[in-house]
Chains A and B, each alone.
Chain A
């Protein structure tokens, strides 16, 4: 594997209508792979710069030569992930940021022309590569799971009627797993696209006065990709299994459990209202 095993990319989106109507100023600048931020309370202060593996300037529009399109993001990040998966490694990508920052757009994107996000593009290329394969000795299988973590409960998005809370268990050989999570076999990109669509519709999206659509759950889309090589001479088979995990996290402004009254426990200086959280507070003390 080349270079570092963890890469960090940052992306900035265009203003939305509310920001435009308030004549907001853009305090982010990008140059190469570094991002700098201006202090709006003190514009004379020098901007602070941070280096990342990738800094994606998507604040303007495709006409701007500096603009980072969905395609560009996929080519940099998604393609490499797929390559590693074919080599037999497990890969994972997290999208982190506040509600409305554009996580779901980057991960899933939209159905319109050239607005597909990382996940659909990755799945599409996965099947292209599988179908392009001419080697008789190789055979492939693809299975997907899609789950949501909301209010400390795990829900199967591919089987939302299963109202039960799925338990997370550990098996000595299989490792950690979610009990009874659907794992569906798919044979084409359209299969995956349909499942993703159905799963997305089942996700919990709620509206309050403060946010139009506030995404309150974490969603984990997992592709289990198995490559079997059958050696005709020796008549032996070898198998490589890789897991591709694609995670769309809930709005980071409420990092831990979301939704339920009084069960939040953020890292910040928040106070939990209900005595049902006494246990968590004591646990935190015991860990000091």
Chain B
């Protein structure tokens, strides 16, 4: 056997590792890979010093080098073959060098060479795969091959390598003898494995599985104390949004509660090697993340309330008492199933941490609110987080974010109004919405914030419209509606008209001409706006018959526009079926009504 100068080998290897770990931006700007190339040269020298690879390894057929190669061993009882003796030792040492060479080539974008080295590494280790010395290296090599194949956009091959790693880990953990200790680094390798699988499943559009693996990754980070509180918290809060979209509110609440608890740990835990934040940015980042987590909570409250509204509203958007009773009856069943659902879900933390998270969870419902009291609780929580979010997302600096938070606040009021039975109080809620939205239209430059401006104008108009309808309903209940309430109704009508008109005007071109063909993205709102303008003109209360006739004429004009446009553009007809039907009716009824009016006027 060749005499291996062991000291020299170790020295060169350590030097190579040190160079590999040099951060890229520490290299000269024009040679970002300089340290990597130097590391590679040293690794090649070490390889030469170690001598040739053991012969029988090289004779194995190449067919066994694929990702499935490890699998046939998994069906058999685990053969933990320890690498003993000089041949085995050499194989393992060479495998280590091949691994580092493989990663080196991948890091410098030389994928083919990288693949060759990694495959050689696996081949050298094959026999000793499940041994204590080699398992970690084997999994890492397979993980890197998984990453490599995903770069080549062969996602199924990547999946095979990564799932093989996962299986290998599970096999090893099942078979390991109790005296073998689990090294921190080994566990970290497996956490990475789960993370890579999460990404693979995401690319394969297996989203539930991807979320599950992200969830597991987060859980393991907590268990092994390998996390930075701010980063972990925002990741958990972001994951809650996935669950909210899937209407899994219990899981979402768990993620958000955990986020709160862990975020509160900031300052008490020192940064680990996984944390990238630069020194000077930390205080600002803390406040930003706090605001972002608050926004995730707002979405939780809002979506839960809106989901309840959706399941309890009738065909005109009002509360349906029958549906409400049905859901009340369902509630008991939901509570019974709660324990079994909780057991199946991935839970964060044990012991103290678990208790802290539960303490937060207990204050928030995950069930759809069925009445005003339950809705109000969620509303208040959402509003609390609105104020917290606005602390960081101020309008100067974060226009888009600030507005989204205000829009969410308005939406919270709107959905709460659905549960409110008293009409005056409902009016007040819409008034609050208008009060928070109107200032935004004044301050924003329409050139830069066109879309957002339109959204706000439309929403304000609709709020005034709803308020007007409510006041009319209130007036109908009074024996003698006085002039005061009539004035109020007309003012609300005027305001609604103003904002619908502003919205419609925003669609005009620089020469103030209304488009012949309305763009697909604004088609439905534009048609709805026209429809509501028509209806509003028909609802102006006036004692002056001449004025009334004028209003009816304007109303008719707008209904006609809708009918004519939908004839010319059939795709528009599909967007507003209901309103189109009503418009056609009005187009046929109004002229007669107006004629009768004229005759009456002529007679008096």
Contacts and interface: CB of A to CB of B under 8 A. Distances in A.
Interface of A: 151, 169-176, 204-210, 259-261, 268-276, 278-279, 281-286, 288
A286 B235 contact: no
B399 A279 contact: no
- Of the candidates A261, A271, A288, the one having the most CB atoms from chain B within 10 angstroms of its own CB is A271
A30 to B, nearest CB: 29
Contacts of A271: 146-147, 150-151, 158, 196, 199-200
Interface stretch (B121-129, B206-214, B300-308, B324-332): B206-214
Interface of B: 23-25, 29-33, 37, 107-110, 146-147, 150-151, 153-155, 158, 191-192, 195-196, 198-200, 202-203, 207, 210-211, 214, 217-218, 221, 231, 234-235, 238-239, 241-242, 245, 274-276, 395-400, 443-445, 447-449
Contact of A175 (B147, B238, B445): B445
A273 B195 CA distance: 9
Nearest to A151: B25
B210 to A, nearest CB: 6
A146 to B, nearest CB: 18
Contacts of B109: 208, 210
Contacts of A279: 231, 234-235, 238
Contacts, number: 122
B148 to A, nearest CB: 9
18 contacts: A172-B445, A174-B445, A174-B448, A175-B449, A176-B448, A205-B30, A209-B33, A209-B37, A209-B110, A259-B32, A260-B25, A269-B150, A271-B151, A275-B191, A275-B195, A281-B198, A281-B202, A286-B239
B239 A285 contact: yes
Given A173-B443, A261-B24, A271-B147, A285 B32 contact: no
Contact of A169 (B203, B234, B397): B397
Contacts of B242: 282, 285-286, 288
Contact of B235 (A151, A169, A204, A282): A282
B237 to A, nearest CB: 9
A172 B203 contact: no
B295 to A, nearest CB: 12
Contacts of B199: 271-272, 281
Given A175-B448, A279-B238, A261 B23 contact: yes
Nearest to A164: B280
B398 A269 contact: no
A28 B239 CA distance: 46
Contact of A288 (B33, B217, B245, B274): B245
B25 A285 contact: no
Contact of B207 (A170, A175, A272, A285): A285
Nearest to A253: B109
Those 5 A-B pairs whose CB atoms lie nearest each other, nearest first? A175-B448, A286-B241, A170-B399, A269-B155, A271-B150
Contacts of A285: 202, 207, 210-211, 214, 239, 242
A281 B195 CA distance: 9
Majority SS at the chain B contact face = helix
Contacts of B210: 285
A151 B278 CA distance: 14
B262 to A, nearest CB: 14
B151 A282 contact: no
Contacts of B198: 281
A276 B276 contact: yes
A151 B29 CA distance: 13
A261 B24 CA distance: 7
Given A271-B147, A271-B150, A286 B107 contact: no
Contacts of B154: 269
Contacts of A175: 445, 447-449
Contacts of A286: 238-239, 241-242, 245
Nearest to B204: A269
Contacts of B235: 278-279, 282
Contacts of B107: 261
Nearest to B215: A282
Contacts of A276: 231, 274-276
A282 B195 CA distance: 10
A176 B24 CA distance: 32
Contacts of A284: 202
A122 to B, nearest CB: 23
Given A209-B110, A275-B191, A285-B214, A259 B30 contact: no
Nearest to B226: A275
Nearest to A169: B397
B271 to A, nearest CB: 12
A286 B237 CA distance: 10
A260 B32 CA distance: 9
A170 B397 contact: yes
A148 to B, nearest CB: 12
Contacts of B110: 209-210
A274 B191 CA distance: 11
B150 A208 contact: no
Nearest to A213: B30
Given A206-B30, A271-B150, A281 B214 contact: yes
Nearest to B276: A276
B238 A283 contact: yes
Given A275-B192, A281-B202, A206 B398 contact: no
Nearest to B197: A271
Contacts of B238: 279, 282-283, 286
Residue among A272, A274, A278, A288 with max Cβ neighbours from chain B (10 Å):
A278
B150 A209 contact: no
Contact of A172 (B146, B155, B399): B399
A184 B320 CA distance: 64
Given A210-B110, A259-B25, A269-B150, A278 B32 contact: no
